[in-house]
Amino acid sequence: MIIEPSTAAPSVQLVRVPGRRRAGAYHRRRRWVKLAFLAPVLLYLPLLFGYPLYYTARVSLENFTISNVVSGGAKFIGLGNLRAVVSDPTLAAAAEHTAVFLVVSLVAQYVLGMGLALFLNGRVYLSGVLRALLLLPWLLPSVVSVTSWEWMFSQTNGIIDSLLLRAHIVSSPPGWLSDPNLALVAVIVINIWVGIPFNMVFLHSGLQGIPATLYEAAELDGAGRWARFRHVTLPLLLPVTRILVMLGVIYTLKQFDIVYILTGGGPGTATQLLSTWAYSLSFTNFNFGQGAMVGNLIFVGAFLAGLYYVLFGTRRERRSGV
């Protein structure tokens, strides 16, 4: 008997893979967990960042004074506050003081922070304890720090004037906080002292990430200490430096408490910054519209610093592979 092969196609049965529904439910749960973790940020940004920006921008376009706080309404004047702020002679002085305060503080903080980071990156006994002690200026409340410095700058019993007199550097106690030529210097010194630990921590972490083999190879090629620092350390610290500059610009532009507690912007306008001027316009002159406009100028400067880092700093780092 001959058995002919069957030409019929074999029947295919669809078999439901067990657990597919369970896997879909698992992925949905993960998606909801991610959204739950993002929820605080999604709520924080609109409520505590977006709305204040919108409200400040709205007030800056209105003739908003103390009378409008009760009534709740203010007349829309467009760019009237901007024209008033630009025509005010205080703007030029405040902008100049802010620029000097910004540049000198950032350069000094970076240079001194780099020196401390290089020192602590070596074989230093109790380097961890020293780093913790050096962080104290940054961790202390501003009121405590500024009050201590105010006592040290005092003309009557300040330790700084006492040391200068004993060393015969000056013949009479200089008025650090009353002299218009020295008040800004005193404010800058305090801001530098506060910002050095922040720079030191960032730069020290960057130094820890540089492989020691690169220094060994450079030393074998005959490079000295300065050449190794210039051609190895500085280029590899460039990403950290960009972050420090961006954060330093933002922090220094909005610096307020040190100047306000120490001098209040005086004597005269010797230490008047954009931040203290915005406060004075709003809560001394009760011209909230002009104060909000100055605040917008500060925000634009900080925003441009962050935008430059995002658009150009990160792009260069991706191209260089750093």
pLDDT tens profile 50-90: 888 898 999 999 998 888 777 777 888 989 999 999 999 99
Identify whether 20 is part of a domain: no
Copy the structure tokens of residue 74.
Answer: 């203010």
Confidence of residue 172 (pLDDT cuts 50, 70, 90): confident
Identify whether 31 is part of a domain: no
Token pair 């505590």 in the structure block, residue: 48
Identify whether 186 is part of a domain: yes
Q: In this model, does residue 1 exceed pLDDT 50?
A: no
Token pair 């350390």 in the structure block, residue: 233
Identify whether 47 is part of a domain: no
Identify whether 250 is part of a domain: yes
Identify whether 22 is part of a domain: no
Domain of residue 240 covers 91-320
The string of pLDDT tens digits covering residues 21-61 is 677 777 788 888 888 888 888 888 888 888 888 989 999 99
Q: Which amino acid is it at 224?
A: G
- Determine the pLDDT at residue 20: 63
Q: How many domains does the chain have?
A: 1
Identify whether 236 is part of a domain: yes
The string of pLDDT tens digits covering residues 95-151 is 999 999 999 999 999 999 999 999 888 776 777 777 778 888 888 888 888 999 999
Identify whether 212 is part of a domain: yes
Q: In this model, does residue 190 exceed pLDDT 80?
A: yes
For residues 176, 180, 186 and 189, what is the CA-based torsion angle, rounded to 10 degrees? -150
Q: What predicted TM-score, i.e. pTM, was given to this entire model?
A: 0.82
Q: Name residues whose C-beta falls within 8 Å of residue 50's C-beta, 6 or more positions apart in sequence.
A: none
CATH value at residue 101:
1.10.3720.10
Confidence of residue 19 (pLDDT cuts 50, 70, 90): low
The string of pLDDT tens digits covering residues 274-313 is 999 999 999 998 999 999 999 999 999 888 888 888 787 6
